[in-house]
Amino acid sequence: MLQGKKGNNTIIYILWALILVSFTSCSKALYKDYPKRSFDKYTPAELPDYANLSHWAAHPDKRDKADRVPDADLFKNRQAESKVDVFFVHPTIYTGKKGQNQWNADVEDEVVNKETDESTILYQASIFNGSGRVFAPRYRQAHLHAYYAKDSISGQKALDLAYEDVKAAFEYYMTYHNNDRPIIIAAHSQGTTHAGRLLKAFFDGQELQKKLVVAYVVGMQAPKSYFTNIPPCENKKQTGCFCSWRTFGKGFYPDDFEEQAPDLICTNPLNWRIDSTYADYAMNKGGVLWKFDKVIPKVVDAQVHQGLLWVGTPKVTGAKLVKNKDYHAGDFNLFYVNVRQNAQHRVASYFENKPEEIISGE
């Protein structure tokens, strides 16, 4: 996939590094411009209007990047025929610009919207167009600095503001679009921060939990106590449960790792187990990297290790030259086909007593 003259290691290194950051901007190292004043000293942009299609990054009533597939011979966009909806909450894209003091993005920011659509919506939300109609709201996402700021109060207020938008979008969706359809919740990174709150507020132990096919809350720590009534998924067909993982190279421990924290849930997206059973490269049906025009089978293996998902060196030219072992940006992309097919399996399982309503698989 990556082409370069023999011996030109610099070019290969740069290309592979770009692969790892092209999906999302959720990396502390990627931003320099952040709010220099407290949250209370700036005025947020206006509330989104979810009756306005432009305030949705993906929506069944518009053409968007979530409609695409990486190989039209292998995959189909089945949103029109599906009986399920997918509510997708995208990760952090907003990293600010020089001289600004905004803690939250403006949903009218064309630059942020373009980056959102061409990264997370294309490479992550599109995974689910084989299972259901994809709804992905734009929201006044918190600046990435909200997770790292010494001013933790401002950071939390920025995240709270972002969640209120996600909540408003979900309420609008439920009122005007759901029509009693089953739901998949999918999210990554900051999106998972908000999706977790959403699941607790609307699903956990409530009537709507009966409509939950599965939740993919990826890219953040997920303790066993994450929810009261929504259990972790323990196999590939279980429904009404949640899956979660964070991807790192073998032997790598992130800064927030606590060895004495055995209560973290980690799902292996190759075998859909939450134990340490190893899944080799052959079980990876394909990742999508760099160009959205093909899948790369057997790109990584996977094994759960103390609440982390460890993978071996990706089988992509130049991967061995890259020292960074934090694969957060590829949490979904490295397992694109496996997640896509798993969502379909769980939909089929959900409807197992109503075979006439099962969407066709791939």
Q: Which two tokens stand for residue 173?
A: 């969706």
DSSP at 175? I
Whether the per-residue pLDDT at 249 is higher than 90: the answer is yes
Q: Which two tokens stand for residue 208?
A: 């709507």
Longest distance between any two alpha carbons in the chain, whole Å: 60
* Mean pLDDT along residues 231-236: 96
Strand ranges for the chain from DSSP E: 56-58, 85-89, 133-137, 183-188, 212-218, 241-243, 247-249, 303-305, 308-311
For the stretch 332-346, pLDDT in tens is 999 999 999 999 999
Assess contact for 138 and 94: CB atoms under 8 A.
no
Residue 316 phi, psi (nearest 5): -135, 140
* Chain centre distance of CA 31: 20
Whether the per-residue pLDDT at 111 is higher than 60: the answer is yes
Query: Quick one: what percent of the chain has pLDDT higher than 90?
Result: 75
For the stretch 116-168, pLDDT in tens is 999 999 999 999 999 999 999 999 999 999 999 888 999 999 999 999 999 99
What residue segments make up the domains of the chain, in order of their start? Answer: 9-357
| Numbers of helices and strands, H then E, in the chain | 6, 9
Distance CA(31)–CA(33), nearest Å, equals 6
Whether the per-residue pLDDT at 362 is higher than 80: the answer is no
* Chain centre distance of CA 227: 19
User: Element (H or E) spanning 1, and its range?
Assistant: none
Assess contact for 160 and 168: CB atoms under 8 A.
no
Distance CA(186)–CA(87), nearest Å, equals 6
What does the mean pLDDT of the chain come to?
89
